[in-house]
Amino acid sequence: MATEVKVPVLGESITEATVGEWLKKPGDAVAVDEPIASLETDKVAVEVPSPVAGVMGEQVVKPGDTVQVGALIAIIEEGGAAAAAPKAAAPEPARAEAAAPAPKVEAPAAAPANDDHIMTLSPAVRRLVLEHGLDPSAIKGTGRDGRLTKEDVLAAAEGHKAETPAAAPAAATVLAPVGARKEERVRMTRLRQTIAKRLKDAQDTAAILTTFNDVDMTAVMEARAKYKDLFEKKHGVRLGFMGFFVKAAVMALKDMPAVNASIEGEEIVYHDYVDISVAVSAPNGLVVPVIRDAQDMSVATVEKTIGDFGKRAKDGTLKMEEMKGGTFTISNGGVFGSLLSTPIINPPQSAVLGLHRIDERPVVVNGEIVIRPMMYLALSYDHRLIDGREAVTFLVALKNAIEDPTRLLIDL
């Protein structure tokens, strides 16, 4: 009995996907709920499980094909056993004459070297012939059927050097280098296509401007060093920097609600909640899950949420609804070593905060030059909605909260 495997429901408003790869080959045994294929949607990769136990049958679609929700993609044959892998073909018996060295075959009468003759040689031999400027038709081949070997060419090159007088060599034709110059063409994943389209649409639609500031990380680093062990023991998660930045962003967004707003048609939509999108790394690129109601979360809850997002992004188990919405984005390029960047907003949001690596730099404090761990901050925003004054004020409020974390406790 055969069972049809169809594209499952992928989420609200998602009607199609791209076949990423087949995880099982025809003839392979499959168990109930074992993944047999992966599909790529606009957001994440989704695995398609087998509805029954049996044997992988016909694969109706190929990797790269676009399929609709509910479309037939494969057949599972129930009750059978996996087909045995075909036996490897027995090696061809060695020819008797191979036991003895092949006799040298005189090459035909010398003829002018030409490209056609060179192209019949193996790549390694052809490269040596070109490097030494030799005529392959004038070299005796000791390989099978009189073919030239690398040793033949090298021997001919040595003989050519011995015969050539020490006089200045005649001008030789300059040949293009011959080597392994490979190109590979890989179809863009649906996720990468969607990222590209959304980023370009953002540039075409919004009036994007970026403003910068820097922040002294001394206070946060000292607090983290002092409390990280107790924090992890109590909450079961490591104390990172993102918890501080999310809480500081929430406080700054309350002061500058336009940075947390969005444009819909000719209206500005202000939100009384803060849903922060955080960019996390996944195998197929960055994904941006959303921390809902960040204004109600503690630092510990933020760190737990981000840690869970990161783990499930690598596993490919993030859900569609977890990446929808968001009123503001934080992207931490510092984890990859970025010094400074101009991030692009994530529509319909109007602003994105870029974090960068921490470097020790000389700064002036109370009239003295001191070394402090500094980080550059970048806020890209839609100038149609957010003025420069609001953008700068937001960054200053964020900077003040990070440099004096006590402000986070008293909302100052």
Q: Any idea which residues carry the catalytic annotation?
A: 383, 387
Q: Over the Cα atoms of the chain, what is R_g?
A: 33
Closest CA to 401 of 377, 381, 371, 368: 377
Nearest-5° Cα angle at 305, 299 to 310: 125
Query: Could you tell me if 16 and 67 are in contact, meaning their C-beta atoms sit under 8 angstroms apart?
Result: yes
CB atoms within 10 A of CB 95: 8
Rounded Cα distance, 404 and 381, in Å: 25
Asked whether the bond before 51 is cis by omega within 30 degrees of 0, the reply is: no
Rounded Cα distance, 195 and 40, in Å: 13
Rounded Cα distance, 24 and 55, in Å: 9
Rounded Cα distance, 184 and 167, in Å: 46
Tell me the CA distances in angstroms from 198 to 208, 316, 345, one per residue in order. 14, 21, 10
Closest CA to 224 of 299, 290, 292: 299
User: Could you give phi then psi for residue 352, rounded to 5 degrees?
Assistant: -140, 135
Rounded Cα distance, 329 and 343, in Å: 10
